[in-house]
Structure 1
């Protein structure tokens, strides 16, 4: 994806590739972060940084986006474009941590 994407195009592309809603993503990230040790006292500890960023973006309106939000959106779109064709478990885990379930194509 080119850096030249305007805010509207980036917003649309991000919401096209992120096919999990915020509750589905949050549940996935918390389950993934809990591992075998169970949930930590701080629910954000152990949660994938990019996934946390996606959750923040999903809860915002387009007009409230920050530069950091737009960076997260670019990273997610680029990740899905790069890894989206792979079907192994590691690729699926990486994509789902960013809000994209490849099985929902």
Structure 2
């Protein structure tokens, strides 16, 4: 994928809304999917979108694919549409927070 000003802006927006590190997201996805009887393989933990975000966090901008760009746009749109900076931070235990964390955004992080 060719680097462009639009891609640069999307890259910045993506890393602004995805405020968890790859290690934090990986740990969250594993914890979220841990069960009493079974757990998925580590590279399969969490929802597919969360796994895609994790893969993007581990890439350089020059290594992005068209699918990565689509996922980044979707995540930026989802997080921007679900966050309200006037109401953050909020309580730690909410389904909204957990859903956002599954795509790399922790509303309680600065």
* TM score, norm. by length of structure 1: 0.85
Contact 1:33 1:45 (8 Å CA) reproduced: no
CA drift at 1:37: 3.1
Once residues 19 and 68 of structure 1 are traced to their aligned partners in structure 2, the CA distance between those partners, rounded to angstroms, is 21
RMSD: 1.9
Please say if 1:63 is aligned against 2:73. no
Once residues 51 and 59 of structure 1 are traced to their aligned partners in structure 2, the CA distance between those partners, rounded to angstroms, is 13
Please say if 1:53 is aligned against 2:52. yes
Q: Any unmatched runs of 5+ in structure 2?
A: none
Q: Report the 3-state secondary structure (helix = DSSP H, G, I; strand = E; otherwise coil) of the residue aligned with 2:42.
A: coil
Alignment of 1:72-91 (within 5 A): 72-85=71-84, 89-91=94-96
Q: Report the 3-state secondary structure (helix = DSSP H, G, I; strand = E; otherwise coil) of the residue aligned with 1:103.
A: coil
Q: Any unmatched runs of 5+ in structure 1?
A: none
How many residues in Structure 1 have an aligned counterpart in Structure 2? 100
Q: Report the 3-state secondary structure (helix = DSSP H, G, I; strand = E; otherwise coil) of the residue aligned with 2:104.
A: coil
1:22 maps to which residue? 22
Once residues 22 and 62 of structure 2 are traced to their aligned partners in structure 1, the CA distance between those partners, rounded to angstroms, is 19
* TM score, norm. by length of structure 2: 0.81
Q: Report the 3-state secondary structure (helix = DSSP H, G, I; strand = E; otherwise coil) of the residue aligned with 1:23.
A: helix
